[in-house]
Amino acid sequence: MVWRAPGHADVARPVLVAEGFPGGYPADYLYELLDQGGLATALRARGRDLVVVGFDAGAGPIGRNARVVAACIAEARRRTAAPLAVGGVSMGGLVARYALAWLESTGADHGTDVYFSVDTPHGGAYTCLADQWFAQFFRRASPAARTLAMVLDAPANQQFVLRWVNGGTAAESPLRARFLADLHALGDW
């Protein structure tokens, strides 16, 4: 989703923002979220184009969604030589970080001079173990618990949550361990 600065016929000075977990939010909600305190409006008034990267499958693996961010960065670079500001909200900050690390590891010119994240679980997120256990235990009896359990079991959630309840045991998910090793291998960024 793109909201250009007044007077811009195309993206000229982009700020790319990756949306948070689980993705798929409506455009008006995302703009409203980013305009709290007038931020989106102020950025656009200062000549910055707001590019919000949404995910059809935001609960999928962070690395896969990072490819979406990388594609948006490439498109922004195709449209302008201006330096980019790239980041995200919540999980979106991890997705953008992974995308930038991957681009640097491939030698791609991402043109980013500012990376930012808002409420991003760089050190891992904490989801109450009792809530996770409850959702897992009652998933067969309750549609609401089943929905919550599906969100908790999503690949992206397993990659950023510190402890994941699986089969009654709370531990680091193998998906998190792999994500951290992959990010480290890319240089952590």
Q: What are phi and psi of 32, to 5 degrees?
A: -60, -40
pLDDT score of 168: 86
* pLDDT for res 42: 96
Question: Which pLDDT score is estimated for 85?
Answer: 98
pLDDT at 189: 76
Check residue 188 and give its pLDDT: 84
Ramachandran quadrant class, 89 (left: phi over 0; alpha: psi -120 to 50; beta: rest): beta
Q: Is 18 exposed, middle or buried (0-12, 13-18, 19+ CB in 10 A)?
A: buried
Task: Using 70 as the pLDDT threshold, list the residues of the chain that sit under it.
Answer: none
Question: Is 48 exposed, middle or buried, given 0-12, 13-18 or 19+ CB atoms closer than 10 A?
Answer: buried
Q: What is the pLDDT of residue 31?
A: 94
Residues 6 or more apart in contact with residue 31 via CB below 8 angstroms? 1, 3, 40, 50, 52
